[in-house]
Amino acid sequence: MANRQYIPGMCNIGPHEINRNWRYGWIGLSSSLLFILICFILPSSPLLRTLIFFPVLIGTLGFLQVIFHFCITLGFNGFFDFGITSSERQSVVHELRSQDRTQATLILMLGILITIAATLALYYFPFSP
């Protein structure tokens, strides 16, 4: 997969950005699991449990960007990055930006829907006091 190239609305990141998003995904997932463990150990109100929204969102968006090989930040800002460092970003031709923005919006909305589902599941989960 080392020969990845920019495809409007489909692929806008290379190995460096993919590795970064893997890290965000794992950080979000491990933070979410730690939060759930704390909710099991300590008494917590359902309202307090909604704070899981944030680590789940970070993890979900990280993993979704890896799956789609598409960074939503780069997509919204009109860039792509296949370099070794993030300083090698290149600008997208103006006519192709709408495809990238559409894909970025879809990934963001999917991430938010998954996060809302996870948050509601934890909110309604019957923890014993």
Count the residues in the chain.
129
| Residue 53 falls inside a structural domain | yes
pLDDT computed for residue 1 by the predictor: 47
Domains of the chain: total: 1
> Bridge partners of 91?
79
pTM: 0.88
Strand extents, DSSP E, 1-129: 79-80, 90-91
> Bridge partners of 80?
90
pLDDT computed for residue 89 by the predictor: 67
Low-confidence ranges of the chain (pLDDT < 50): 1
Backbone angles phi, psi at 82, to 5 degrees: -115, 15
Q: What distance in Å separates the CA atoms of residue 120 and residue 122, rounded to the nearest whole number?
A: 5
Q: Give residue 61's domain range.
A: 15-124
| Residue 3 falls inside a structural domain | no
